[in-house]
Amino acid sequence: MKEYIEERAIQVANYIVDSNATVRQTAKKFGISKSTVHKDVTERLEAINPSLAEEARKVLNINKSERHIRGGLATKEKYERISYKSISK
């Protein structure tokens, strides 16, 4: 594996663990795709640093289990903004 890919995988995992970031947040921060973030953490990092891979996987699993809640809150806020705009006209 190329050295820069290994370094990126470690940086990505450290960022996820340190900031409890989601895959989307991490992809945006590093300018890579969500698929690349996922592959770095689940496949590449496992061969480089298994303990860091496990830590990052735990954070991603927590984020995955909570994403339906965040989505619901975002939808609620959207419709509250729409309702507020129609009332204030």
Model pLDDT for residues 41-75, shown as the tens digit of each residue: 989 999 999 999 999 999 999 888 877 777 787 78
Per the structure, the count of domains in the chain is: 1
> Rounded mean pLDDT of 6-28?
94
pLDDT value, residue 88: 66
Q: How far is the C-alpha of 48 from the C-alpha of 54, rounded, in Å?
A: 12
> Rounded mean pLDDT of 9-15?
96
pLDDT value, residue 80: 83
Residue 20: which domain range? 3-87
Give residue 24's pLDDT band: very low, low, confident or very high (50, 70, 90).
Answer: very high
pLDDT value, residue 85: 67
Angle at 18 between CA 60 and CA 61, to 5 degrees: 10
**Termini Cα distance of the chain:** 59
Distances (CA, A) of 75 to 8, 21, 61, 71, 79: 34, 21, 22, 6, 6
